């Protein structure tokens, strides 16, 4: 196997992992939408979560693929000091915010 094929394989595995994570968040968003409709809660928390996951899928997966491919081609490690922890913090804040909004709405019933 050539070196270019190895670089592409590493980048593709990383992109696929990010896509699987995004699909999981989208599935949770879809379940949240359904739950909001059934329980007659506001839809905006579910829509925010689903929209953020879709935008993350469009922007972050491609960006991470390109970064991993470039760093592996240069002979460096593809580990990022800021990107992965930053994306994790953003998703945790988003989920915590949606959860807090749901608690507020649930307490009003």
Distance in Å from the first CA to the final CA of the chain:
61
For the segment 47-74, what is each residue's pLDDT rounded down to a tens digit? 887 888 788 777 877 887 788 788 878 8
Divide the 109 residues of the chain into consecutive groups of 10 and give the mean pLDDT of each group: 69 80 83 84 80 80 80 74 80 84 79
What is the C-alpha to C-alpha distance for residues 44 and 52, in angstroms, rounded to an integer? Answer: 12
What tokens appear for 29 in the block? 């968003």
| Domains contained in the chain, number | 1
pLDDT at 25: 81
pTM of the model: 0.58
d(CA 40, CA 91): 25
Domain range for 38 is 3-107
- Rg of the chain over Cα atoms, rounded to whole angstroms, equals 18
Percent of the residues in the chain that have a pLDDT greater than 90, as a whole number = 0
């Amino acid at each position: 196997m050539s070196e270019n094929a190895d670089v592409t394989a590493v980048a593709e595995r990383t992109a696929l992992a990010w896509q699987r994570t995004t699909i999981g968040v989208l599935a949770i968003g879809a379940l949240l939408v359904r739950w909001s409709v059934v329980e007659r809660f506001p839809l905006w928390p579910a829509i925010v979560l689903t929209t953020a996951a879709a935008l993350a899928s469009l922007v972050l997966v491609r960006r991470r693929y390109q970064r991993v491919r470039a760093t592996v081609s240069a002979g460096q490690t593809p580990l990022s000091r800021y990107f992965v922890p930053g994306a994790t913090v953003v998703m945790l804040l988003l989920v915590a915010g949606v959860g807090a909004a749901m608690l507020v709405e649930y307490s009003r019933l």
